[in-house]
Amino acid sequence: MRNQPQKKQHHHGNLREALITAGVGLLNEGGLSALTLRKCAARAGVSHAAPAYHFKGLNGLLTAIAARGYQALAETMIEEREAAATDPHACLVAICNGYLRFAQENEALFDLMFSAKELCYDDPELQRESALARQVLHEGCAPFKHGSAGNEGTEIMIWALVHGFAGILRKRRVRPDHHPANNIRFEDILPHLECV
């Protein structure tokens, strides 16, 4: 067993990371259907069955890549928040725009994270990263309350709104013209929120 996790070892040396990188690359280039255990293996220069050792199977690899996706999603949201003004409303809008930017810049990865593919939802890494991403949204929502709903309802409302809007924008790629959400920014559909 390796003592130093980043130490180069045996045949490949840190193959797990190389397989995830290969997977993200395949995802960006060919979409969700191009993400394959065997193609990942080929891209990393190992045999076709090597990934099954590091991940519990295809679902394991997908889960690891999805966890990476949640990490990147959180980073994008934080990045937008830092670049925004400091008042709570601008922060929340910035966080949501980060969410939307991530969804559009990493379409296949976003698909993987929220697709019907059965990931290993009990994977601790996936749970940690997705919880971290949700934490960013949670913090952004904290200063607000929303009409009829309690404080928790506000977060659900924002979450549903931004996630649903991301899904709508995703379909714009198919038929870019005459798309109903063409000239609509997130700020336009964000309802009024009262400070708590």
Partner DNA sequence: CAATAAACTTGACGATGTCAAGATAGGCGT
Partner DNA sequence: ACGCCTATCTTGACATCGTCAAGTTTATTG
By a kind-dependent CB cut-off of 5 to 8 A, residue 57 interacts, out of DNA, a second copy, none, with: DNA
Specify whether the backbone of 31 is left (phi greater than 0), alpha (psi in -120 to 50) or beta.
left
By a kind-dependent CB cut-off of 5 to 8 A, residue 153 interacts, out of a second copy, DNA, none, with: a second copy
Interface residues with a second copy (CB under 8 A) are 31-33, 108, 111-112, 114-116, 118, 121, 146-150, 152-153, 155-157, 159-165, 167-168, 174-175, 180-181, 184, 187-192
Question: What does 156-184 look like in DSSP terms, one character per residue?
Answer: HHHHHHHHHHHHHHHGGGTS-TT-TTTT-
> Residue 57 or residue 150: which is nearer to DNA going by CB?
57
Q: With 0-12 CB in 10 A as exposed, 13-18 as middle and 19+ as buried, what is 61? A: buried
H/E element holding 194?
strand 194-195
By a kind-dependent CB cut-off of 5 to 8 A, residue 184 interacts, out of a second copy, DNA, none, with: a second copy
CB of 147 to a second copy, least distance (A): 6
Instruction: Answer whether 63's CB lies under 8 Å from 119's CB.
Output: yes
> Residue 22 or residue 112: which is nearer to a second copy going by CB?
112
Written as six digits, the tokens of 169 are: 């924008």
By a kind-dependent CB cut-off of 5 to 8 A, residue 1 interacts, out of a second copy, DNA, none, with: DNA
Residue with tokens 């003592």: 3
Interface residues with DNA (CB under 7 A) are 1-3, 7, 9-13, 15-16, 36-39, 41, 46-50, 52-54, 57-59
CB of 176 to a second copy, least distance (A): 12
By a kind-dependent CB cut-off of 5 to 8 A, residue 39 interacts, out of DNA, a second copy, none, with: DNA
> Residue 88 or residue 153: which is nearer to a second copy going by CB?
153
- Rounded Cα distance between 161 and 155, Å, is 10
